[in-house]
Amino acid sequence: MAGGVRRQRGQSVASVRVGIGVNTVSRGRVASRLREGLSSRVVWILPFALVGVFYASTRLALLRRFPGFIDEAAYASWALRVHDSVNDRFVALAYGKLPLLSWLGAGLVFAGIGPLDAVRIVSILAGLGTMVIAALLAGRLGGRPAALTAAMFYAVLPLAFVHDVIGVMEPLVTALLAVALYLQVRLAERPQVVTGLLLGLTMGAALLTKETGMFALVLLPASLLAFDWKGDRLGRRLLSWIGCAGTSLALTAIVYLVLTLSELWDDYPRARESLGIVRSFGDGVAHPWRWIQETWPTYRPELVGYVTVPIALAVVVGVIFAFRRNVRLASIFLLWLLAPLFVDLIFLPGAFTRYLVPMSPLIALFAGYGVVRGGQVLAQATRRSHQTKWITAGVALVVVSTALVLDARVLANPSTAPYPGSSRGEYATGWGAGTGWPQLAAELRLRATNGPIVVASYAGQTEALPLLLRTDGRIQIVRGQPGQSGPEASADYIVENGTPLPPDAGVGTLRPVWTFHRPQAGTPIVLYRRGVVWQGTFYETPDALRRGLAVSDPAFDRFIAAHSRIRAWYVAESSR
């Protein structure tokens, strides 16, 4: 009996040990699988994360170093006005522009960020979103390798590299257009109400950003190229798409109608027309070749410089391979690539580089896919299929080498970088460039150490200087009109930026005391000090004149009374 009990206990102990062993093995296998799964995810995600880090680090490195040119300074000032007063939330309409950028910028100003930094952060985040969408779209053609390469191309493409850090409307509208393209393709492939609602909100937001957002509406029918015309229940699916697309358009209209809440809505068309930046549809289509001949010579060097010849060739290769892979998707993407260029050439008299920014995600998409397929073909041709990844990486490095040179020069010094075409004048050398204003602000702060000063300008002024000095209560900035009245007539300092001062620039005499020479013999910024000249000596203040004359008070009064020009200056200075 006792022996039987001992045998049972032994069997129980053995079974427990076996069970523990089995559990240990099972846990080991689970842990091993978890490690393998985690490792594969890291391997999959890490390259994309590195591209994201490159994007963020390069853009943030330029955030406060890129010179704030005239347009983004204006948009930053609107964001500040929206922040300061809810009544100014539609201020952009008064200038013929749309308000979403200023709204988003104002939100960041509420978070304690400076207005110029705020609109630039909006652009940086928008560029990040555009890069993600470019990768997703490229993945539809060539899987993960194409997605990764497209993201990399977007991160280094000079057209995006430069403009993603500028606080203008183009990066934001580009991101919204890219999202709209992605949602349109998804809606055509699988019509769903949620997709339609998201598309409507996206297109509405694009229209609140810039008129370029109209591309999304015009190209919506083209998304039917991605529709499955041979599948089952064609009629039902087509009706579903029509319903979802109609919902999108209705929601877009509702979002756009927000603008009619503003009392400035009626002024918007007139303000926009006064800018003269868009030809009428009739003018554009009546003489397209004429407008192309006029505009293309300006755009050509900008495209060559900001896209670069190697990337352009990669785009051509990518288009060819894309049409072989999926002609319908390739057709949609090509339409979205060419539409901005077509509109810019025919309908926009001013050839500004930033108008080309909506092309950037499609350039990255086709270039990335072209390099991936080109690398695969080259590997097969050289019988080194096992080294396809390395060959593709080498091809990609060669293709982006020219772009990296410009990127590096922009990073090294954004004030002197050789920006292609007319954008060199916009961003570095012209009167509207942001170069020089931080230096002038520092000079004015130095000159205000002994007391408050008034600074005036008559022409060529941007919002960059007021934004830089907005928190300095010692410095008052006024806009001048020729004549002997107003605060500008007796301002301590006058700023000249490209446009000569008027003959009647107030009382006294103006003498240049500080000059900033913009790069490459660009437009200088000159600071003038107001004062009077007597016997070859320049006097800045009444007290300095009194000390210089070294006469008694009665004699000084007689001197002032006898010289009308000096008297006008003296009275204006003494009455401040």
Per the domain annotation, does 430 fall within a domain? no
The answer, yes or no, to whether residue 16 has pLDDT greater than 50, is no
Q: What is the dihedral of CA 210, 83, 261, 203, to 10 degrees?
A: 30
- Report the distance separating Cα 540 and Cα 143, nearest Å: 70
Query: Which has the higher per-residue pLDDT, 50 or 289?
Result: 50
- Under 8 Å between Cβ of 454 and 471: no
Say what the pLDDT of residue 34 is. Answer: 53
Flag whether 428 is in a domain: no
Do 367 and 509 lie in one domain? The reply is no
Give the orientation angle of helix 564-574 with respect to helix 553-562, to 10 degrees: 120
If asked whether residues 364 and 308 sit together in one domain, one would say: yes
Same domain (yes/no): 142, 260: yes
Q: Is the pLDDT of residue 140 over 80?
A: yes
> Do residue 86 and residue 178 come from a single domain?
yes
Residue pointed to by tokens 């004359």: 549
Same domain as 213, residue 103: yes
pLDDT at 7 over 60: no
Q: Is residue 391 part of a domain?
A: yes
pLDDT beyond 50 at 251? yes
Both 246 and 389 in one domain: the answer is: yes
Q: Residue 349 above 70 pLDDT?
A: yes
554 domain-assigned = yes
Of 18-32, 34-48, 374-388, 494-508, the least confident: 18-32
| Range in 38-47, 250-259, 468-477, 565-574 with the lowest mean pLDDT | 38-47
Pairwise pLDDT comparison (7 vs 481), residue with the higher score:
481
Among candidate residues 43, 62, 81, the one where a domain is terminated: 62
What is the span of the domain harbouring residue 472?
436-574
The residue out of 412, 446, 474 marking a domain boundary is: 412
The reported pLDDT for the residue numbered 31 is 56
For the chain, give me the number of helices (H) and strands (E)? Answer: 23, 6
> pLDDT at position 367, please?
97
Same domain, 44 and 71: no
Q: What's the mean pLDDT in 432-449?
A: 94
Mean pLDDT across 186-212: 96
Structure token digits, residue 146: 């194409």
Please state, in angstroms and rounded to a whole number, the distance separating the CA atoms of residues 262 and 91: 9
Whether residues 44 and 68 fall in one domain: no
- Whether 463 and 115 have beta carbons less than 8 Å apart is answered as no
Region of poorest pLDDT, from 83-87, 294-298, 398-402, 465-469: 294-298
The closest of 169, 255, 244, 265 to 210, measured between CA atoms, is 169
Does residue 399 fall inside a structural domain? Answer: yes
Does any domain span residue 537?
yes
Give the single-character DSSP code of 427.
I
* Residue of higher predicted confidence among 128 and 281: 128
On whether both 546 and 568 belong to a single domain, the answer is yes
The rounded distance, in Å, linking the Cα atoms of 12 and 34 is 32
Q: Is residue 207 domain-shared with residue 88, that is, in the same domain?
A: yes
Asked if the model's pLDDT at residue 285 lies above 80, the reply is: no
Question: Are 49 and 73 a contacting pair, CB within 8 Å?
Answer: no
User: Residue range 346-353: average pLDDT?
Assistant: 80
Nearest to 237 by CA among 175, 275, 191: 191
Count of structural domains within the chain: 3
Residue 518: pLDDT above 70? yes
Cβ contact 98:107 at 8 Å: no
pLDDT score of 484? 62
Q: What is the mean pLDDT of the chain?
A: 89
Q: Are residues 468 and 518 in the same domain?
A: yes
**Any domain includes 371:** yes
- pLDDT 10s digits, 355-396: 999 999 999 999 999 999 999 888 888 888 778 888 988 999
pLDDT tens readout for residues 404-430? 999 999 999 999 999 998 899 999 999
Is pLDDT above 90 for 506?
A: no
Least confident span in 18-27, 169-178, 307-316, 478-487 = 18-27
Same domain as 473, residue 405:
no
535 has pLDDT over 60:
yes
The two three-digit tokens of residue 42, written as one number: 């890291």
Q: Indicate if the pLDDT at residue 5 is higher than 50.
A: no
* pLDDT of 479 higher than 90: no
Kind and range of the H or E element at 325? helix 309-325
pTM: 0.88
Average pLDDT over residues 254-263: 94
Domain boundary among 62, 81, 112: 62
- Provide DSSP, 93-106: HHTT--SHHHHHHH
pLDDT at residue 15 in the model: 53
| Residue 35 confidence (pLDDT) | 58
